[in-house]
Chain A
Amino acid sequence: MAGYVTHNYDVLIVGAGGAGLRAAIEAASTGCKVGVVCKSLLGKAHTVMAEGGMAAAMGNVDDRDNWRVHFSDTMRGGQYLNNWRMAQLHAQEAPDRARELEAWGALFDRTRDGRILQRNFGGHRYPRLAHVGDRTGLEMIRTLQDHGIHSGMEVHMECTVLTLMMDGGRCAGAFGYHRERGQFMLWQAKAVVLATGGIGRAFKITSNSWEYTGDGQALAYRAGAELMDMEFVQFHPTGMVWPPSVRGILVTEGVRGEGGVLKNRDGQRFMFDDIPDLYKNQTADGEDEGWRYTQGDKNARRPPELLTRDHVARCINREVKAGRGSPHGGVFLDIAWIKKHIPSAEEHIKKKLPSMYHQFMQLANIDITKEPMEVGPTTHYMMGGVRVDGDSQMSTIPGLFAAGEVAAGLHGANRLGGNSLSDLVVFGKRAGEYAVKFARENAVIHSDETQIGAAMKSALAPFDRTAKEGPYQIQHDLQDKMQDLVGIVRLEDEMQQALGVLEGLNQRAAQVSVEGNRQYNGGWHTAMDLPNLLMVSEAITRSAILRKESRGAQFRDDYPYKDPEWGKYNLITKQGANGEMIVEKREIPPLPAELKQIIEEMK
């Protein structure tokens, strides 16, 4: 059997998006030896796709903003299933993390008095998102990358992790392979931080790139860690719907933040028709008030287009199902209409939303300064993931940490736009810090040769199979079925059916074969991703079946209302003694009086 190359680190970071890089910078700053493993080239991770901004209550645009408001907005958006400790730390620390990016070279858009400009976004009471046009994620990842390469971290690009190395109950590194050459790699480490992102490729219509195959969630689960909140998959309300090949590509919420409105086939602003009770006091009465809000009028309330993503996505779904959709099965998102209010609207739109202008012009032949866009929901973000301690980000496995999208807790049942970029840097930093602490206190590790042998054997098996099914059709069938059966509107029967489908797909995946050799072999890479996609799909489905209510991102047509009883629990996913998947309720720890009071005050 082929050998492998060994590297030794104090701290190993898996993933090089915003969370991974921030964790690596933090760990490397202590003088620790830090390795970073990423599936793509450095700087290409999914963080580059983030558009709208980074939520941080700096109060540069509206001085009424502070961490308490941000905390209560986050909890309300998450329908109170959030890990309140994480929501608190996030709101408190995000401003420092934003300013730190500036000290490292990020250039955010400015206010008139030269400070970091902040924009409106769904579910945020005040303008809160630090941004750079509509390419904030690129600015963030490039800043972290360019700062990080001088910090001493070693980066292993285009590598896939196959398994986490375990040493008697603790995590002791990772084993995987180099995608470019096919060489096996062992990264021994005293602590490991997962920062692998989400699961979007389990669905057919998604804004996520190929990397989002649930690797971190599946690696942690198989190593024995608990996952949490797996039923909560965020469908972003506005993805492109036409032409077919670009279906799912994200259209930033920033369009609505800048005054864009949603209309149905009849030209009606349907978002005014259904405003949830939780938000009635904060939502504009009419079009005029909504417009004034987007232009910074502090006395105006937000337009209904800026309600939370789960709600907007469902309203769009309702319009389409009722036959009031656009020609290609979406609704219209109109930013061109602002020319009624702004004389130089065309230039204004191009300046505020440059990549949206570019994207529609190039991919759909549509000039968004003149015509409305057609948009519909697209799989966007995973609220659930590895269950972690709020302060340290350590999972239920000693030495295994998780930060960013792969971790659960901060966002509860629904994430607010802009809370992801801040999540990455707040908890990336914390994970890096506590991983170093753990590595220092638990220095001796040992790598299990049996585990390595088994990982290599199972990775190479697809090359030797005579059965002729490749991985692509299996992946395609999975995406189709998850979209149809466990998508934006869920039903018990359909999800039970999905479990059967998943069983069949698991059997096919166990027999998958690949052709060619190990060098940059797309077929082999996809075959290695399949077990992860299948694992997270099962967790999503089982959790969604167990939660018999509609809350946040989970909408059950058979249980269309929120049930206060279910509001007491998170759902935990873990592996049973015989390898079976267990999903169970876990009571949410009580909110401390001080935080409870903040929520009451902000109601």
Chain B
Amino acid sequence: MAQATFRIWRGDKNGGAFKDYMVETDQGMVVLDAVHRIQAEQANDLAVRWNCKAGKCGSCSAEINGMPRLMCMTRLDQLDLSMPVIVEPMHAFPSIRDLVTDVSWNFEVKKKIKKFKPRKPDAPDGTWRMQQADIDRVQEFRKCIECFLCQDVCHVLREHQKHDEFIGPRFLVYTAALEMNPLDTEDRVADLKERDGIGYCNITTCCRQVCPEHITITENAIIPLKERVVDQYFDPLKKLFRIFGA
């Protein structure tokens, strides 16, 4: 079959450069197949992180022709192969080597978010009762495969490097899943405002557009959380009550 050129970034935290590789392509191939072929035949030490190759684990995140995507779910027949296919690591995280970045910051952020705290069981046998309709939205959030592409595309992290002040779309979705779980009794609204920097998000919806699981990140998760923050802290009527009621 046809040949295609892959322009892959090679290097580490000290810098690097793009290198071109010619690859034989087969029907149905995805970008990760091409990268593996290069690794097996031309560059044994090429660093690439991957696992399931089925869009379920979220390991092989990269930027393909400038778009944050999973390499395993990007088919070559969706790309213009008359031009070199550009494959780069995610930009929002420090480089380790080649296509692999240091995403450890994400794991640290998650630890700080207050854990799930269920209400007392509903039944004597220690179980709960929930209606499917009440958990549909949370199940949408729990589809997240933690590929961190939403974090990669978010300008607050990518351009402004606010990693110390803003938890990013992934962890706003994570917080939303906890806050909207019908069993949960914890309150994370103060944290969202003060520590997690939810105010930084100005809903450009880039995160929603790159999500491989099609989670409606902004509309279903972030905006309702913003509403809770506004409701608790910026409601003028409530403010009056606070001033005069106390």
Residues of A within 8 A of B (CB): 40-44, 46, 48-49, 99, 102-105, 107, 109-110, 113-116, 132-133, 135, 138-139, 142, 146-147, 149-150, 155, 157, 180, 209-211, 242-246, 249-250, 354-355, 358-359, 362-364, 470-473, 476, 514-517, 519-524
Contacts and interface: CB of A to CB of B under 8 A. Distances in A.
A296 to B, nearest CB: 16
27 contacts: A44-B58, A99-B127, A107-B130, A107-B181, A110-B130, A110-B135, A113-B129, A114-B129, A138-B56, A139-B142, A142-B142, A146-B115, A149-B110, A149-B111, A157-B104, A210-B51, A243-B26, A243-B28, A245-B27, A358-B55, A364-B28, A472-B44, A476-B40, A515-B44, A520-B100, A521-B45, A523-B39
B98 interface: yes
A150 B57 contact: no
B154 interface: no
Contacts of A155: 107
B55 to A, nearest CB: 7
A578 to B, nearest CB: 34
Given A147-B116, A521-B47, 14 more contacts: A49-B52, A99-B126, A102-B127, A104-B116, A107-B130, A135-B56, A138-B143, A138-B145, A209-B53, A211-B51, A246-B30, A355-B55, A472-B41, A476-B40
Given A99-B127, A147-B115, A245-B28, A522 B53 contact: no
B75 interface: yes
Given A99-B126, A150-B111, A470 B44 contact: yes
Given A43-B146, A522-B45, A522-B46, A245 B33 contact: yes
A363 B131 CA distance: 34
Contact of B127 (A115, A355, A358, A521): A115
A520 B52 contact: no
Nearest to B50: A210
A138 B145 CA distance: 8
- Main secondary structure on chain B at its contact with chain A? loop
A107 B135 contact: yes
Contacts of A471: 44
Interface string B86-107: 0000000000111010111001
A16 B59 CA distance: 15
A48 B57 contact: yes
B198 interface: no
Contacts of A42: 107
Contacts of B39: 472, 522-523
A46 B54 CA distance: 11
Closest 4 CB pairs of A and B: A243-B28, A516-B45, A114-B129, A523-B44
Contacts of B55: 355, 358-359, 362
B54 A250 contact: yes
A238 to B, nearest CB: 14
Interface in B8-43: 12, 26-30, 33, 39-41
B134 to A, nearest CB: 9
B178 A105 contact: yes
Interface residues of B, number: 60
Contacts of A521: 45, 47
A477 to B, nearest CB: 12
A78 B49 CA distance: 36
B45 to A, nearest CB: 3
Given A107-B139, A150-B111, A363-B73, A514 B127 contact: no
A138 B54 CA distance: 13
B167 interface: no
Contacts of B102: 180
B48 interface: yes
B234 interface: no
A178 B58 CA distance: 20
A103 B97 CA distance: 40
B110 A146 contact: yes
A48 B52 contact: yes
B204 interface: no
A595 B135 CA distance: 40
B221 interface: no
A48 B144 CA distance: 11
Nearest to B138: A107
Given A209-B57, A472-B40, A41 B103 contact: yes
A165 to B, nearest CB: 27
A520 B97 contact: yes
A44 B52 CA distance: 8
A211 B75 CA distance: 23
A354 B117 CA distance: 29
Contacts of B143: 135, 138, 354
Contact of B48 (A109, A146, A249, A522): A522
A44 B27 contact: no
A105 B28 contact: no
A231 B26 CA distance: 34
B44 A516 contact: yes
B36 to A, nearest CB: 9
B118 interface: yes
A524 B47 CA distance: 11
B82 interface: no
B12 A519 contact: yes
A337 B30 CA distance: 30
A49 B56 CA distance: 6
A223 B33 CA distance: 36
Contacts of A43: 146
Given A115-B129, A150-B111, A515 B138 contact: no
B128 interface: yes
B27 A362 contact: no
Contacts of A517: 45
Contacts of B139: 107, 132-133
A355 B75 CA distance: 17
A103 B107 CA distance: 22
Contacts of A99: 126-127
A336 to B, nearest CB: 21
A515 B43 CA distance: 9
A105 B52 contact: no
B47 A520 contact: yes
Nearest to A60: B127
Interface in B147-196: 178, 181, 184
B71 to A, nearest CB: 12
Contacts of A470: 40, 44
Contacts of B59: 40-41, 44
Contacts of B45: 514-517, 521-524
A364 B144 CA distance: 22
A136 to B, nearest CB: 11
A146 B33 CA distance: 31
B51 A44 contact: yes
B54 A114 contact: no
Nearest to A354: B143
A100 to B, nearest CB: 9
A133 B115 CA distance: 24
B210 to A, nearest CB: 15
Contacts of B46: 522
B54 A49 contact: yes
Contacts of B103: 41
Contact of A105 (B104, B107, B116): B116
A209 B52 contact: yes
A139 B135 CA distance: 13
Contacts of A150: 111, 115
Contacts of B184: 105
Contacts of B131: 110, 114
